[in-house]
Structure 1
Amino acid sequence: MTSYILKRLLGLLPTLLIVAVLVFLFVHMLPGDPARLAAGVDASPETVELVRQDLGLDKSMPQQFLNFFVNIVQGDFGHSLRSKRPVSTEIAERFMPTLLLTLTSMAWAVVFGMIIGIVSAVYRNQWPDRIGMTLAVSGISFPAFALGMLLMQVFSVQLGWLPTVGADSWRHYILPSLTLGAAVAAVMARFTRSSFIEVIQEDFVRTARAKGVSEKWVVLKHCLRNALIPVVTMMGLQFGFLLGGSIVVEAVFNWPGLGRLLVDAIEMRDYPVIQTLVLLFSLEFILINLVVDVLYGFINPTIRYK
């Protein structure tokens, strides 16, 4: 297991290098002049040129990438073109709100998604299954931004129960987490149902029932553990999507997180912030996939890594 983890960690380096090159090229293809945006609309051409030199944008593309890569290796992610603050500081201030929102969304989505999936599998083709899968399809089909605005209209504007902007208290997390986790709960329900249906039809389940084991114990002990592997895979991927893909929800609720920071950085052509955030999101996906693979060994000890 240790050797496997070390090999996967070493595999991070070429992957992140490729991502860094692609992100650098993509960012510099964006329309707009960062020097002009940083200097201001009314700045003279001489001032814009001085700002361009100060930002290092007057150098050639290979030189800019080399400086960017060398600085990253040294742990220096540069300074924001917009705020002039270190990029690491900007990201550190926004990371916890996004992480807490992601954990909150993931927690309720996994619990409700697995419950709906298990009930739908046990009562396959009956009314609980039809209701559960209807909810799952609705959760997948409904756009996040539309769901967010609908929840704000009902629970904030009309009823006045919940706030819509900010992250100051637990009440601020309710609407964004519901919006962000709805699609995840739907995906978890469908995957859990599919996995359970396959496991329920296995011989060891029929043997357990033939021995007189109660249906509740069959589901919780014999089926749940064997059905968890594909569910854990999807759980890890969905967590990565939530952590790096909450941009729309954070924009709708003006959430002070990484998604909102990325939107602001793109609007201002803040190259260092954009590049660092995309690299961070890529690293998160890779590490989450590694954690999911390691969890396989704990869920099913028969799995061995070579």
Structure 2
Amino acid sequence: MLNPQWLRTFITLVEQGNFTRSAEQLDLTQAAVSQHVQRLEERLGPLLIRRPRQLELTPAGHALLAYCAEVGAADQRLQQRLTESDTERGEVALISPGSIGLALYPLLLEVQQSHPGLSIRHRFAPDHEVLDAVLENRFELGLVTLKPDDPRLTVSHFAEEPLELVVPVGEQVHGWTDLERLGFIDHPDGQAMAGRLLSRQFPGGPGVRSLPCRGFINQISLILEPVSRGLGFSVLPRYARLAFPRPESIQVIEGATQLIDTLWLLHRAEWPLSARAELVLKRIQPAFLSSPRASR
């Protein structure tokens, strides 16, 4: 077991890049800082290359820094578990796809404003990252679009979200030739989403890959920016469209049938949710329980 004080000294030294500043930060003598590093190097081998104006980590130094991060994360998880029954204080960690995240985050901030003792940690991620993060207990709550079949998880219905064909305001789309004229604004999930929706709205079409691509953007909050400027059309989930700040510059082309995805809430099944996570869910979930057909 490595001495926690030695580890704190090493982390501070890496952050400060200087023995003198590190000693001041830790309220230690410079000799004490050097001694702590020496003790670690006696156990682990050379950790630092000392240059006149900088410190460079060796491979062992990088490994120790990663270990320190793991220890810090474990300590944070321990503190969280020890305060699970506290509704008003502590961290609530939620990971979700980007579209629903755009709608969730303002609601999470409202909860935090009402309960200043809470700390909200929210990350946008694709389904596979959400699943791993919840299973590895890095996030207490997760949302995914594909329902997992894993006995370690409790899975429940959270919301429904249609995919939408969004075009510049005033544009008419009556057939595939109109899509070819407009061109496609792509994004990381664009090909898959457009393929699923357009095959329903325009059966017999040659497929989204045949359409001219007018641009690509990997930030979900910006996908509709080029659409609003008349540069093309896109296909994306409704909550992303609802979060766009200039709805007057875009419009949705309705099809004969909707393509609606279900969003599933995940958490570990082996232990109960923390009281603060239950509080957050109680506050945010009603906003997503109404029919998606009502949110135009």
Give the TM interval when normalised to the shorter protein.
Answer: under 0.3
Greater relative contact order (CA < 8 Å, ≥ 6 in sequence): 1
Which is higher, the Rg of structure 1 or of structure 2? 2
Name the structure with the higher helix share: 1
Q: TM-score, normalised by structure 2?
A: 0.25
Q: TM-score, normalised by structure 1?
A: 0.25
Name the structure with the higher strand share: 2
